Structure 1
Amino acid sequence: MSAPALVTASRRQWSGAGRWWTPYVFIAPFVVLFAVFLVGPILIAIVNSLFSEQSSGLGFGGSEVLFVGLDNFARALADSDFVTSFGRVVLFGVVQVPIMLAISVVLALLFDSGLVAGSRFFQLTVFLPYAVPGVIAALLWGFLYQPSVSPIIQGLASIGIDVNLLAPGTVLWSIANVATWSTVGINMIILFSALQALPRELYEAAKLDGAGQIRIALGIKLPMIAPALLLTTVSSIIGTLQLFNEPQVLKSITANISSDYTPNMAIYAASTLGKDSHLSSAMAILLGLATLIISLIVLKATNRSSQKKATDG
């Protein structure tokens, strides 16, 4: 065998080419991290939710961990505040998600149309709030929500408009405002990237047929970026059910946000204030199941709608 052939053979042997285990070496880091940081915590939470820590004797001795089956799930579902928190975030999502996605779609279409001068600057401006951590964004908005220091509220009061953005009836929508501007940017980028990948020949053909920008946007662009719209919708729904940072921060400046205002806050309160990790594990599993079910319903409804349009077409 010649020297070049020996070198090639040695390189193949060193690289592992042709060996069955080579692909598994490359995917092993992902599998390990996936198992450690996702599958592992889920399994631990499931096991933990089936037990409960109870005091032995008259309460003066130690405590023991007993198997209680589904009792923690029953306790969680019997907690009216925890159940109410689900209804609160569902109402939040029904209003906030469509508004946020509508703003994201409009901005993405405007930037893609080329009608906006300095679009790069405005894209960065819209995306910038997403780069700000949610806790800091909530702190900044909390300053604008406090009547004693807010220039906005004081300016409105000077012209006879009295508003309280932290009142019981408005605090949920104040949280929605923070969440909206914190997530519009990333969704706009996803939709704009999908629009940029579309073939421009379709637009030219539509323009030759007399279609305007609005008709092109509604009839060509939006249907063709349906997968991106579905992605942003599902991710927004999941984010809504996991709402935590904004209400947790604003809780420090108003009494109208309780410690169990959202499901995630209720889980946090049960594990820290209540010091009951078993109950909080059951709550976390219920939240995960609710998120999964709602996501599947949205995906099913979207697929059915797509199939109906394809059949009608």
Structure 2
Amino acid sequence: MMHKSARFITLFCAALLGGCSDSDSKATGTPTTTDDTSTSTSTSTSESTTLGPTSSGTTGSTTVDDPTSSVTDGEASMCDPWQQDCPDGYKCMAFAPEGEPAFTGNKCTPVVENPGKVGDPCKVEDGWWSGVDDCDYGLACWNINHADNTGQCVALCTGNEDAYDCPGSADICVFWIPGIAHVCLQGCDPLLQDCPTGQGCLPDWASNGQRFVCLAEYSFEEGQEFDPCQFSNVCDPGLLCWGSESALECDQDISACCLSFCDISDPQCTGQGAECVSFYEGVGGEPPPAFADVGICVIPG
């Protein structure tokens, strides 16, 4: 049987590469994203800046003297990401105190002059966690590359937690951190790996893998089959970060490695003793019809 906790590695990396979490974390609720997730959400996935509102306070809490600032050490927020109720010239963004593994609240951050549109390259101030970027109102810089804090502008979900939508008809609203970060990502097929260049098709863990979305891929020279991994998007497209005990070729002293998706209707696996087992056997639940043939190459058990 697949290592169930390892399946959650993929969730944070867009949040933390727009952070990432370790292999035992699941945010059904970051950019991560690598991680982060993205995830993530990540994701995890810094310089200081004077751009944007500031606050002052005493030790242990933050006393806000600016209406656009966050409160209570980032545990609460001064804005609603669904309502986007910030003052003119600001947008409501997810953020985290530096050092946290995932977004923890929302705050109003400034919209820059000549901001980026959906699909444009972007940059975050300080790091993925700051909530300050150069994308337009209603957008967030996602899939952050830690090396230079750059990413791509994506739309925030519209509506509310019970009735939500995305501006792009082909996009999926991903509840990266419910109540805090909801972003529109391109849907995809993990067997086709039909994402834009530089992105991989990975599970949306907020839906328990019922959907797949495109996330930035940062494997560089590594991330090949059986390579060690900590986060989802450090594996090459077509591979998933999964429990090392599922493949003899993986280093058994590490928690996870890159394993291949496979087509149950045409199973092809390269690992010793590996079989193409339904992805949903490890995840739990029934596979949606569109992904009924999605498998992963593992040692059955």
Higher relative contact order (CA 8 A, sep 6+): 1
More helix per residue: 1
Query: TM-score per shorter chain, which class?
Result: under 0.3
**TM-score (norm. length: structure 2):** 0.27
